[in-house]
Structure 1
Amino acid sequence: MSFTGYLISLVVLLGVVNQVTPAPLSPSSFDGQPVVDLEYSQYQGIRLSSGVNQHLGMRYAAPPLGDLRFRAPADPLETSGVKNATSFQAICLATDTELPSTTQSEDCLFVNVWGPASATPKSKLPVWVFITGGGYTANSNANYNGSTVVADSGQSIVMVNFGYRVGSYGFLASEKVRENGDLNVGLLDQRMALKWVQKHIEQFGGDPSHVVIHGDSAGAGSVALHLTAYGGRDDGLFVGGIGESVFFPAQPQVCELEWQFSRYVNDTGCAGSPDELMCLRSKDLTVLQEANIATPFPGRTAAPLFYWTPTIDGEFIQDYPYRLIEQGKFVKVPIIFGDDTNEGTYFATNASTPADVASFFQDNYPHLTSTDTDAINAQYPLMAPLPEHAAYFPSAAAAYGETTFTCVGNYIAQKFATMHNPYKVWNYRVNILQPEDVTAGLGVPHVSEMPAIFGLGNANDDVSLSYSNVNAEIIPVVMDYFISFIRDLSPNRYKFASAPHWESFGDGNDGGRRLKLQTNATGMEKIPQDQVKRCEFWRGLALTMEQ
């Protein structure tokens, strides 16, 4: 499956109802249903039969429209009456999405909350904030259903997720944007959501002093960026972090993205305008969306997988993330970081030759030289074949998976262990074998464990696949490790009764320890020395690759 197809399939499965402006309700219509007063608005949710209160589609910021395009999020507008919070709202507009869309919108800064029906503002329950992935080009999983994890925690946590701007709307970069707008507004949306949690989560029974942030893929990359934000400044927004398949694409300096901005304003008809940002803000959404696409880096022939990515703005992102982590410029909190066995199979080109592998890497990391790609091919020679793929696909997939995901997470774990606390860092490898993925030549692909974390049917998953049968037994094991970390900042205290003790990463001198998550075979293992050496190789290229 191509990366684009993977994202589209996730987005299509969301099935969100595009109710951008919830209608006021009459007072009599919310008898017996939970209503929260957030000062700027009142929202009525639903009390589920599981004993969970569900509030969906609440605004945490003003609609980022018109003059608010390409700017940091603004406070939500005050409203009168009680608003309906019983349906998911639109997710943020993805690249390549055709308009009109019934599930996606530019007006998309909504938050969802699940909490125990018995909770009060004095309950002070731990809070789980999930940040969706999607390669910074889509909200692939913004509207996961958090009711099951709240119920299965014994009504002991509050769950939050939300949407944030992506693509050109979230990551347009230029000095002109800096002068008349804001850089990295997708990340600033996330920060706004975290501040919203601090201000309002008590109304749902949550404890603002015990918030754990968790993300998958670009959401995990976002977790890493919040850990290093403002040079590692601790703003008291969270006390722990979970990164599933943490994602580091090229994250260039602003000056390296001026060509991208020029292409965008040219395609929208704004090139040469006295104020190009004002022109962009005045354009109809359909015009912007036609330009919200990926094109090749200068001098390259194929577009990168990830075109709109965070940029080093000198404030929120003060340097390349690898360098910030190396320098210890991160918030010192307990963490879980991990990955899947075959991270790269969703993304890699179906390479037939080493030259195909080299071209693929230079398309995605344009500063790599031919000497660099020769070294990459030497690290990943011809490997055992995978079904449905060409000869060098396994090599391309292994290389891309390790440099973009696996080695990033391992490095973060190592640095947190050596510069913070080796007993407050946990690492894992998902090896949950799904027959349909194995048959397709994907192995155990990127973030395929999501149903095991959130429960069957809650993660845009096909309930007919393996988590409903051969892999059903792994769901409570994985879910309870995550719930335990949310509650106790350790995966062990509230783990599933028969699950093994999850040992910490250790000092990392031997490469580190990790938990292999696999149905009926979960247990500890050491990170293999050959992978440790390959990750050292990638660290040597990290700055060249702008990671």
Structure 2
Amino acid sequence: MRYAAPPIGNLRWRAPQDPEPKEGTTDAIDFGPICLGTDVTYPTSGQDEDCLYANVWSPTNTTADAKLPVWLFIQGGGYTSNANPNWNGSQVVDVSGKNVVFVNFNYRVGLWGFLASDRVRKDGELNVGLLDQRLMMKWVQTHISKFGGDPNHVVIHGLSAGAGSVALHLAAYGGRDDKLFKGAMSESVFFPAQPRVPELEYQFNQTLAKVGCTDDKDQMGCLRGKDIKAIQDANIASPFPGRAANPHFYWTPCIDGDILQDYPYRLYDKGSFIKVPVLFGTGSNEGSVFAANVATQDQFVSFMTDNYPKLTKNETDPMLQKYPLLPPLPNHNVWFPSTSQAYGETTFICPANTIMNAYAAANRSGTSWSYRFNVQDNDNTASGLGVPHVFEAPAIFGIDACPTPDSFRTYNKPIVSLMMKYVISFVRDLNPNTYKLAGAPDWGDWGRNQSRFVFELNKNRMENVDDGQRDRCNFWKGIVEVMEQ
């Protein structure tokens, strides 16, 4: 279903608009195209500029007055792709006992969603990918009751960049509560560099040059008049200024002074966020699928600086003290483990821990829960990846909902029912324990001890974040201006 008008032509780089009313019945059997990603040639089957579609799964024969809890999922993809499109919500609905309505959707990414310049601000909007998500939340408020959902009981949930988006919506507009959701779940919250607008003028200028709009008096009009292929050919990554290698994530949200009024860490430190029940979690080895397979300390520093380009020797020297040489891992060079740990902590784990601490400081400990997913997979172990980024997804959505490693169908299968029940319980009652699996341990809250639930086969338990990780996270938090987080 369309939740917004096609963001094409004059609606490029503008806030999404409501779709035109349409009489009669619309065929909603087939999924709509997803949004065009970075470094994708056009045309590509299943991707298009006209991409703002949503999907709803609700129990059969649900009536409009059912008022079921709503699970609104924001997919990931590093703000450069729609990486988890159209995941099947049927298993979530079934495991909930037909007590949940599940919603997912597409949003603009890459150049289409995060082109930034003061010239965009003057004739359009910044961070339109986030504004797409915001309009989807408003769509749910208006329409979800038609599917049996309760607009007054919506839980937003994001994975990776979707999890980063959840963190940004909690702090959006300085923490203004527009009553769009009652709770939030974040699976591997993603904080890349999120620069201020003046630092991104070079991206805009490069885009103008690539599409032939530099000398046009109406540069935005020129961009809006170009065909899709011309724009998509410019939707590619480049090294950050002064760097030689491409970052993993080139187009990202920016500090626009509106929806994102400051670096996220600062907003959370100031208490500028919505105080609702939250559940945040990460995997043990978040950086392993991203880290370069580096052999030397200098290569470690270069990789980190390619992704966080304001880093200087003032920060990388103490970083090397925090991340010394670690024991080797299969199929990788000697400095890979340290690089993986550093990137995983600064980009995913420490943002989650820091946000949880902000909720504890705001006296929200009793309604704040965290987890570390530590379920081993033989293939991951053999390849040296450990427990990688968002590996737990099939244990949240169900093994038939998304791409699923074989271990979740065999020796790791017990984790699936355990985790699904906790997560669905949070969606239903804003507490993971209310409808947990029979006999499952209590999931304690985060609290002042930084306590999180560890998912590990035959060893599920609570743990406190160790002193080493606390110290490393404090280091990253202390250089927020440099990291632009």
On whether the aligned pair clears a TM of 0.5, the verdict is: yes
Report the Cα offset of residue 237 of structure 1. 0.1
Q: Is 1:169 aligned with 2:169? A: no
Q: Is 1:244 aligned with 2:195? A: no
Q: How many residues align?
A: 485
Report the Cα offset of residue 111 of structure 1. 0.5
Distance 1:230 1:257 in 2: 21
Distance 1:541 1:448 in 2: 29
Query: Does the CA-based 8 Å contact 1:322-1:543 persist in structure 2?
Result: no
Tell me which residue corresponds to 2:253: 310
Distance 2:61 2:431 in 1: 25
Report the Cα offset of residue 78 of structure 1. 1.8
Query: Does the CA-based 8 Å contact 1:246-1:405 persist in structure 2?
Result: yes
Distance 2:439 2:415 in 1: 11
Tell me which residue corresponds to 1:178: 121
Of 201, 206, 210 in structure 1, the residue corresponding to residue 149 of structure 2 is 206
Q: Is 1:99 aligned with 2:37? A: no
Distance 1:132 1:420 in 2: 30
Q: Is 1:528 aligned with 2:466? A: yes
Distance 1:245 1:380 in 2: 21
Distance 1:439 1:382 in 2: 20
Report the Cα offset of residue 298 of structure 1. 1.1
Report the Cα offset of residue 89 of structure 1. 1.5
Letter in 2 for 1:524: M
Matched position secondary structure for 2:81: coil
Distance 2:252 2:22 in 1: 34
Letter in 1 for 2:79: Y
Distance 2:257 2:272 in 1: 14
Letter in 2 for 1:237: L
Distance 2:46 2:332 in 1: 33
Report the Cα offset of residue 121 of structure 1. 1.3
Tell me which residue corresponds to 1:42: none
Q: Is 1:494 aligned with 2:432? A: no
Tell me which residue corresponds to 2:426: 485
Instruction: Name which of structure 1's ranges 444-453 and 87-96 shifts more when overlaid on structure 2.
Output: 87-96
Matched position secondary structure for 2:171: helix
Which 4+ stretches in 1 moved above 4 angstroms?
Answer: none
Q: Is 1:150 aligned with 2:88? A: no
Q: CA offsets per residue over residues 33-56 of structure 1, 9 Å max, x none?
A: xxxxxxxxxxxxxxxxxxxxxxxx
Q: Is 1:196 aligned with 2:139? A: yes
Q: CA offsets per residue over residues 424-463 of structure 1, 9 Å max, x none?
A: 000100011111111111100000110111111211335x
Of 342, 365, 378 in structure 2, the residue corresponding to residue 422 of structure 1 is 365
Matched position secondary structure for 1:322: helix
Report the Cα offset of residue 119 of structure 1. 1.7
Matched position secondary structure for 1:83: coil
Letter in 2 for 1:478: M
Of 373, 384, 403 in structure 2, the residue corresponding to residue 460 of structure 1 is 403
Distance 1:486 1:142 in 2: 21
Tell which has more relative contact order, 1 or 2 (C-alpha 8 A, sep 6+): 2
Letter in 2 for 1:545: M
Tell me which residue corresponds to 2:455: 517
Distance 2:253 2:378 in 1: 35
Letter in 2 for 1:380: Y
Tell me which residue corresponds to 2:130: 187
Tell me which residue corresponds to 1:36: none
Letter in 1 for 2:385: L
Tell me which residue corresponds to 2:329: 386
Matched position secondary structure for 1:82: coil
Distance 2:38 2:458 in 1: 40
Report the Cα offset of residue 499 of structure 1. 1.6
Tell me which residue corresponds to 1:363: 306
Matched position secondary structure for 2:91: helix
Matched position secondary structure for 2:157: strand
Query: Does the CA-based 8 Å contact 1:341-1:443 persist in structure 2?
Result: yes
Distance 1:457 1:159 in 2: 15
Letter in 2 for 1:473: P
Tell me which residue corresponds to 2:349: 406
Q: Is 1:475 aligned with 2:416? A: yes
Distance 1:184 1:214 in 2: 19
Q: Is 1:138 aligned with 2:76? A: no
Instruction: Name which of structure 1's ranges 365-374 and 403-412 shifts more when overlaid on structure 2.
Output: 365-374
Letter in 2 for 1:67: N
Q: Is 1:325 aligned with 2:263? A: no
TM-score, scaled to structure 1: 0.88
Report the Cα offset of residue 105 of structure 1. 1.0
Distance 1:439 1:308 in 2: 33
Q: CA RMSD in A?
A: 0.9
Query: Does the CA-based 8 Å contact 2:284-2:372 persist in structure 1?
Result: yes
Q: CA offsets per residue over residues 122-167 of structure 1, 9 Å max, x none?
A: 1111100000010000010021111111111011111000000000
Query: Does the CA-based 8 Å contact 2:359-2:365 persist in structure 1?
Result: yes
Report the Cα offset of residue 262 of structure 1. 0.4
Tell me which residue corresponds to 1:538: 476
Query: Does the CA-based 8 Å contact 1:417-1:424 persist in structure 2?
Result: no
Matched position secondary structure for 1:176: helix
Distance 2:408 2:459 in 1: 15
Distance 2:68 2:244 in 1: 52
Letter in 1 for 2:452: R
Query: Does the CA-based 8 Å contact 2:422-2:433 persist in structure 1?
Result: yes
TM-score, scaled to structure 2: 0.99
Letter in 2 for 1:502: W
Distance 2:216 2:333 in 1: 48
Query: Does the CA-based 8 Å contact 2:183-2:278 persist in structure 1?
Result: yes
Query: Does the CA-based 8 Å contact 1:144-1:460 persist in structure 2?
Result: no
Tell me which residue corresponds to 1:8: none
Letter in 2 for 1:207: D
Aligned residue runs from structure 1 range 213-292, under 5 A:
213-292=156-235
Distance 2:289 2:483 in 1: 20
Question: Percent identity at matched positions?
Answer: 54
Matched position secondary structure for 1:543: helix
Letter in 2 for 1:236: K
Report the Cα offset of residue 205 of structure 1. 0.3
User: 5+ unaligned residues in a row in structure 2: which ranges?
Assistant: none
Q: CA offsets per residue over residues 508-544 of structure 1, 9 Å max, x none?
A: 2x3x100001222211111111111111111111221
Query: Does the CA-based 8 Å contact 2:295-2:336 persist in structure 1?
Result: yes
Letter in 2 for 1:495: K
Letter in 2 for 1:492: N
Query: Does the CA-based 8 Å contact 2:425-2:434 persist in structure 1?
Result: yes
Query: Does the CA-based 8 Å contact 2:91-2:400 persist in structure 1?
Result: no
Distance 1:434 1:106 in 2: 38
